[in-house]
Amino acid sequence: MAVDLYIHIGKPHEAWIPDELVGYDSRDKEIKAYSGKAFDTATDDAKRHPHVRVGEASFLGAAQTGDRSKYVPGPIGRIAKLIPDASKPKPVRVTRQLVRDIKRAFRLQNNTDPKYELEDAEKVLSFLEKHRGEYAYTIAW
């Protein structure tokens, strides 16, 4: 099952989805269970924040097979490590260094099979430059 990874921009107290609203499988980080109305409110808030699609991956496929390179494009894996997901308590500020790191991430190989699609790097970098100084988080929808 493939999901799209998005980078969202927002203040931490407005954007972060509390752990109790998101159930993660510790092996694959795929969203496993949701908690009704509170989750809907949190996701509606996240969708209102500016966001950009980064690309698609199958974190579940990677966890099930142990072959991350086949299911998670290099750029997606690196960006997911650079910018925490919405359940993490510590936000990341978009800085010149973060933008450079993400630019380098887009140079990594996409060895997935079948090929999972990546967004145009310039679109993502331009979005981040526009939001430099703000907080960022990722969500896989």
> Residue 72's domain spans which residues?
3-140
pLDDT in tens, 82-119: 998 876 767 799 999 999 999 999 999 999 988 999 99
Contacts of 26 (CB under 8 A, 6+ apart): none
pLDDT at 123: 98
Q: Is the pLDDT of residue 64 over 70?
A: yes
Say what percent of the chain tops pLDDT 70. 72
Q: Which amino acid is at 63?
A: A
Question: Do residues 128 and 94 touch, judged by C-beta distance below 8 A?
Answer: yes
Number of domains in the chain: 1
- Decide: helix, strand or coil at residue 59: helix
- pLDDT category, 42, cuts 50, 70, 90? low
In a 13 Å sphere around the CA of 98, the CA atoms on its Cβ side amount to: 25
